[in-house]
Amino acid sequence: MVTKAQLAALGLFDAKVPRYTSYPTAPHFGRDIGAGDFTRWIEEIPQGAKVSLYVHVPFCRRLCWFCACRTQGTQSDAPVIAYLETLKSELAMLGQHLPEGVRLSRLHWGGGTPTLLQPGMMEDLAGAIKEIAPFTDETEFSVEIDPNEIDAARLDALAAAGMNRASIGVQDFNEEIQQSIGRLQGYDITKWAADEIRARGVASLNADILYGLPHQTRERITESVQKLLSLNPDRVALYGYAHVPWMAKRQQLLPSDALPTPEERLDLFDTARRLFMWDNYAEIGIDHFATQTDGLTVAQKTGRLRRNFQGYTDDTAEVLIGVGASSISKFPQGYAQNAPATGAHTAAIRDGRFSTTRGHAFSDEDRLRSRMIEQLMCEFRIDSAEMCATFGITPQAVRKMLDDSAAQFPGLLQVDEGGMFVPHEARPLTRMIARSFDAYELSTAGHSSAI
């Protein structure tokens, strides 16, 4: 049994580490990757391959104070309409370079608030996507839905476009907490959205909930989780609130003196985790939960669980293309990120060029360390045989990397000829363990709390 005192001694409550949805992490992307690299990597996709597509809509009717995403507020549809035209132009340009026969494995609309698009706009965007990369019978089309910014007509449009997974952000149902984070969203309106989504035959429902928010207590998170469970989500992401007001200025509006301590954050997470487990959800990685029949649970049991910018996924496509301002694409060759500012992104597309402004080309060492970190984050282990067979590294070299990592967590990690295993009681340290395999300098990145 690992005690809080041991976790504290190992630095869990003081550490700032990445969430490792990519490796290397985005702060280490460089300006040496540009539109030419992105174009070439698109053209090198094999003919007939399945790819995933992420579409970023950076607009919100209101800006939630807790959010650190790239978003901008608007009360008018005018900038949204203009941005949609940019997206359609970007997609058309993408279609000119995509090899023949490319189809969609996954499609995700995120933001921001993609559901502020009007029904006709949703239809236009979906049509522009299907024109360059058609759906298959297995395509998963997911949309982030704000219950405060959705109605029957827009749900009808999304269902008609093929949405078969919806994701609802909950954060917390307690009104005082909602007031403190600038996100008012009652249980009734959330339940209405969930019921209406399912009424349209959407097969799967995701939900996000946060721990570590101002004024959050064990009793309050218990009540919020129980309300969330009454909606019967297929997947739940239990994210730790990342308080980074030096990066997200709007977070300065939160009452920082009401934030829980790192020790209290761990207790909040454990409280919520136990509730999901008691309701027979499978524990997926460090912060997700899923029903026993959900694709994530199946992927975990069969060794196909993966991690990307949306968190945990069962998507095995080797290419993820990001469309829209600030979107990040992943190729076997590396990462490519679009211009973060909407104006700069739009200007590039109008000039007939992709807006890629930075990225990273993978080295062989990057690929090895990336897979080690991903396997840790997904399976809490590193398989030495896989590393040797896939990356041509010797068993002795792998063993040294594992031993060096284990030495930083004395007595907690199991290392043998087969690889490394993280016991359940040590799993709060997973991101810190992953950090021990990260060859890049952390001090320049400014990441969030390890718990």
d(CA 68, CA 55): 18
CA angle, 247 then 251 then 255, to 5° = 140
pLDDT single digits (tens) 256-304: 999 999 999 999 999 999 999 999 999 999 999 999 999 999 999 999 9
Mean pLDDT along residues 413-438: 96
Q: Is the pLDDT of residue 405 over 90?
A: yes
In this structure, are residues 309 and 22 in contact, taking their beta carbons and an 8 Å threshold?
Answer: yes
Strands (E) across 82-234 are located at: 103-111, 140-145, 165-171, 204-211
What is the average pLDDT score of the chain?
Answer: 95
Distance of CA 290 to the CA centre of its chain: 15
DSSP letter assigned to residue 30: B
d(CA 154, CA 92): 24
d(CA 415, CA 407): 10
Quickly state the pLDDT bin for 255 (edges 50, 70, 90). Answer: very high
d(CA 145, CA 117): 11
Can you give the pTM of this predicted structure?
Answer: 0.95
Mean pLDDT along residues 173-195: 96
| Nearest alpha carbon to residue 70 among 440, 429, 328, 377 | 328
Residue 109, SS3 per DSSP = strand
Radius of gyration of the chain (CA): 22
| Nearest alpha carbon to residue 14 among 449, 375, 305 | 449
Compute CA distances 128 → 84, 90, 404, 424, whole Å.
10, 10, 50, 46
Tokens of 55: 């579409």
The values of phi and psi at residue 52, to 5°, are: -105, 150
In this structure, are residues 320 and 34 in contact, taking their beta carbons and an 8 Å threshold?
Answer: no
Distance of CA 23 to the CA centre of its chain: 13
Quickly state the pLDDT bin for 443 (edges 50, 70, 90). Answer: low
State the SS3 of 347-364.
HHHHCCCCCEEEEEECCH
Quickly state the pLDDT bin for 444 (edges 50, 70, 90). Answer: very low
Please count the residues of the chain: 451
Which neighbouring-strand residues pair with 111?
Answer: 57
Q: Is the pLDDT of residue 124 over 90?
A: yes
In this structure, are residues 207 and 232 in contact, taking their beta carbons and an 8 Å threshold?
Answer: no
Q: Is the pLDDT of residue 74 over 90?
A: no
How large a percentage of the chain has pLDDT more than 70?
98
DSSP letter assigned to residue 68: -
**By CB neighbour count within 10 A (0-12 exposed, 13-18 middle, 19+ buried), where does 245 fall?**
middle
Q: Which pLDDT belongs to residue 67?
A: 81
* Euclidean distance between the first and the last CA atom of the chain, given in angstroms as a whole number: 18
Helix (H) / strand (E) containing 308: strand 306-308
Quickly state the pLDDT bin for 243 (edges 50, 70, 90). Answer: confident
